[in-house]
Amino acid sequence: MTNNTWTQPQRQPVKALIYVFYKTLLTVLKVFTPLLISLMFKKTNDESRIWEYTAMLIPVLALIAAVIRYRFFKFYINDKQQLVVQQGMFNRKQIILPLEKVQAVNVQQQWLHRLANLSELTFDSPGSTGQEAKITLTTPQANALKQYILTVKNLGYVATSETIQQPEIKTNRLYDLDPVSLIKLGLTANHIETFFIVLAFGYSLLQNIKTASSDYYNQSVDLLSGYVVYKSVLGVLIITLFVIAVSVIISFVRTVLQYANFSIASVGNRFQIRTGLINTKEVLVPFSKVQYISWRANWLRTKAKLYLLQFHSIGQLQVKEKQKVKVPLTRLEYLPQMLAYYHPLLATDTTAVQVHPAYVTRKYILVILPLLLVILTVAYFNAFFYWALVLLVYNTVSIYLFRQKFALRFNEQALYIQRGSFGNDELILLWHKIQSVSIKQSIYQRKNKLASVHIHTAGGSINIPYIPLATANKMVNFALYKTETQAWQ
């Protein structure tokens, strides 16, 4: 497909229907999993199953709707150099995106994309709250359209043999993720989070099977689980170790698949990030769209000196957490390279603003103590809930460690926050990136001249709890001054 064909309204390639069907089937499968379990375990002579089989027609209707969406999806570039995307059969929707306003053209390939030689393009613009449009094309078409749009953006017109050629964009390769660091990243993943996800999934699946099964099966499951939980300490230990092992394997594999082939480079005035083994992504992060930068590590990664850095850009609030691209820092020596395009790290040898000790006391009184009473009350009737005391202890220690680690430093250009509980969490924010800032005080805080500061940016919010009121007022006034000054420049 050549450049002049972009001016003609066109559909996505027919092969894109494969991916449309795949996404539709995945959605249907998630919704109808309980129904499928019911069909597998219920008695065959149950008359109500006629309604269940009737409900199975819904996936067919969903596939038909997917074909209709494909049929009425068209895109083209008009004579004003605007990308126009039209979609919808009855409720027509049209997206118009001026090419010179495009800040990023991102390319994504899932495993099915790669089998069919397809790529999915998404586009970001300055005023967008997320990705404005998605177009699935063959990989050569996607590369051609991406190059066409970036050429128009950089030159203001399409370069041809008769015009001045597009100047070479300077590329600076920052670093790649080596295999050893990738393995270390997988081994230090958040296994605790995965553990609770696996536990919740297993419990939910068991409940769905019990709901759909006969009384005999339910009684057998209840007797077995009751014996394991209440009669056999060894049984509980074996099940716990099994779930832990499964959780570690899942989180390790997921991390390796996500960050394999990772590389980051600065291309012109933006970062270019490539990552993924099976599902690959190529994301452009414009420097001007970055609101603040944070880097964090869980307890295991702090020991291995591994961090995940995130560019909090405009529109990130609308992006799902698992879809956000995070940069693995396998050595802290890489951090200055990332910050060089934003603001250098502030010195840590100056006096820092600390969270007042009252923060811990108030959290214990207002949060931990009520939760303790609730857990003990419920556990009195069901001893299983005594397990919740482990989480309560975890939260109690987390609050204390958060106060101990918190440190706020700022100068005339930026503010730098260090925080965390069992792990570390740090961020740097330029004053003029702040959209709004406010002070909140409880009755206790007003009495003791304390305040909490809430900072809002286009890339997310930052809360600074229980600092001296004088410092809070100083921060708010300076933030408003820098924001208004920047607006006049």
Q: How far apart are the first and last CA of the chain?
A: 43
More confident residue, 67 or 293: 293
pLDDT exceeds cutoff 60 at 128: no
Same domain, 123 and 7: yes
DSSP state for residue 79 in the 8-state scheme: T
Same domain, 158 and 9: yes
Would you say residue 218 lies in a domain?
yes
- State pLDDT tens for residues 90-106: 788 888 888 888 877 88
Same domain, 143 and 200: no
- State pLDDT tens for residues 318-343: 555 555 778 999 888 889 988 988 99
pLDDT exceeds cutoff 50 at 216: no
More confident residue, 272 or 168: 272
Measured between alpha carbons, how far is 322 from 376 in angstroms, rounded to an integer?
35
Same domain, 155 and 249: no
Same domain, 163 and 185: no
Per-residue burial over 6-35, b = 16 or more CB atoms within 10 Å of its CB, e = otherwise = beeeeebbeebbbbbbbebeeebeeebeeb
Would you say residue 216 lies in a domain?
yes
Measured between alpha carbons, how far is 242 from 317 in angstroms, rounded to an integer?
36
Q: What pLDDT does 208 receive?
A: 61
Same domain, 208 and 313: yes
Measured between alpha carbons, how far is 129 from 476 in angstroms, rounded to an integer?
25
293: β partners: 311, 428
Would you say residue 422 lies in a domain?
no
Would you say residue 54 lies in a domain?
yes
Same domain, 242 and 375: no
Same domain, 162 and 197: no
Instruction: Work out the pLDDT band at 374, boundaries 50, 70, 90.
Output: very high
Structure tokens at 182: 């990738």
Would you say residue 316 lies in a domain?
yes
- Final residue belonging to a domain, choices 139, 167, 195: 167
Would you say residue 410 lies in a domain?
no
As for how many domains the chain has, the answer is 3
Same domain, 121 and 187: no
Same domain, 69 and 95: yes
Would you say residue 138 lies in a domain?
yes
Residue 194 structural domain:
179-268+287-334
**Helical spans, DSSP H, in 315-457:** 335-339, 358-363, 369-381, 388-405, 443-447
Task: Indicate whether this model's pTM tops 0.85.
Answer: no
Least confident of 90-94, 264-268, 425-429, 477-481: 90-94
Same domain, 192 and 325: yes
Chain centroid, CA 374 distance in Å: 32
CATH no. for residue 26? Answer: 2.30.29
Q: What is the mean pLDDT of residues 51-76?
A: 77
Least confident of 199-213, 274-288, 336-350, 411-425: 199-213
Same domain, 41 and 88: yes
Residues 6 or more apart whose CB falls under 8 angstroms from that of 167 comprise 154
- Final residue belonging to a domain, choices 401, 417, 436: 401
Residues 76 and 10 sit within 8 Å (Cβ to Cβ): yes
Q: Is 308 exposed, middle or buried (0-12, 13-18, 19+ CB in 10 A)?
A: middle
- Final residue belonging to a domain, choices 137, 167, 197: 167
Would you say residue 10 lies in a domain?
yes
